[in-house]
Amino acid sequence: MEPKKKMNSYILAVDGGATKTTLSLRDASGKIYFEKTSTSTNYQAIGIEKAEKAFSQLLHEAYEATGIQDIAVAAFAVAGIDTKKGQTIVQQIVEQSCRKSLFRIQHIIVENDVQSTLIGLTGNDAGALVISGTGSTAYATDGKGRIERTGGWGHRVGDEGSGYWIGREILNTVFRYEDGRLQKPTVLKDLVYEMLQIDHIEQLNDWIYQTNYTNAQIAKISTVLSKAISLGDERAIDIACNAAKELVIMTDAVLRKIEPIHEGFIVYLNGGVLKNNPVILKLYKEYMMEQYPHISFDLCNQNPIDYIANRALRSLK
Q: What is the pLDDT of residues 287-315, one digit of tens each?
A: 999 999 999 999 998 888 999 999 999 88
Question: Distance between CA 67 and CA 138 in Å, rounded?
Answer: 39
CB-based contacts of 50: which residues, under 8 Å, 6+ apart? 43
Query: What pLDDT, on the 0 to 100 scale, is given for residue 259?
Result: 87
Domains 10-122 and 125-301 share a fold: yes
Is the four-CA dihedral 97, 8, 75, 1 of positive or negative sign? negative
The distance between the two most distant Cα atoms of the chain, rounded to a whole number of Å, is 71
Residues in the chain: 317
Question: Distance between CA 154 and CA 172 in Å, rounded?
Answer: 19
Residue of 93 and 124 predicted with greater confidence: 93
Task: Report the pLDDT averaged over residues 19-31.
Answer: 90
What are the DSSP calls for 121-149, one per residue? HHTTS-EEEEEESSSEEEEEE-SSS-EEE
Give per-residue pLDDT as tens, 67-107.
Answer: 999 999 999 998 878 788 989 999 999 999 999 999 999 99
Topology adopted by domain 125-301: Nucleotidyltransferase; domain 5 (3.30.420)
Residues 264 and 227 sit within 8 Å (Cβ to Cβ): no
Query: What pLDDT, on the 0 to 100 scale, is given for residue 317?
Result: 65
Percent of the chain residues topping a pLDDT of 90? 69
Question: Distance between CA 275 and CA 246 in Å, rounded?
Answer: 17
Q: What is the pTM of this model?
A: 0.85
For 27, phi then psi, to 5°, come to: -100, 180
Query: What pLDDT, on the 0 to 100 scale, is given for residue 4?
Result: 44
Query: What pLDDT, on the 0 to 100 scale, is given for residue 3?
Result: 42
Domain boundaries, the chain: 10-122, 125-301
Topology adopted by domain 10-122: Nucleotidyltransferase; domain 5 (3.30.420)
Give per-residue pLDDT as tens, 241-260.
Answer: 999 999 999 999 999 999 88
Tell me the sheet residues that pair with 293: none
Give per-residue pLDDT as tens, 130-180.
Answer: 999 888 999 999 988 899 999 877 777 778 899 999 999 999 999 999 989
Mean pLDDT of the chain: 90
CB-based contacts of 63: which residues, under 8 Å, 6+ apart? 69, 101, 102, 103
Give the angle 110-116-121 at the CA atoms, nearest 5°.
155
Query: What pLDDT, on the 0 to 100 scale, is given for residue 2?
Result: 45
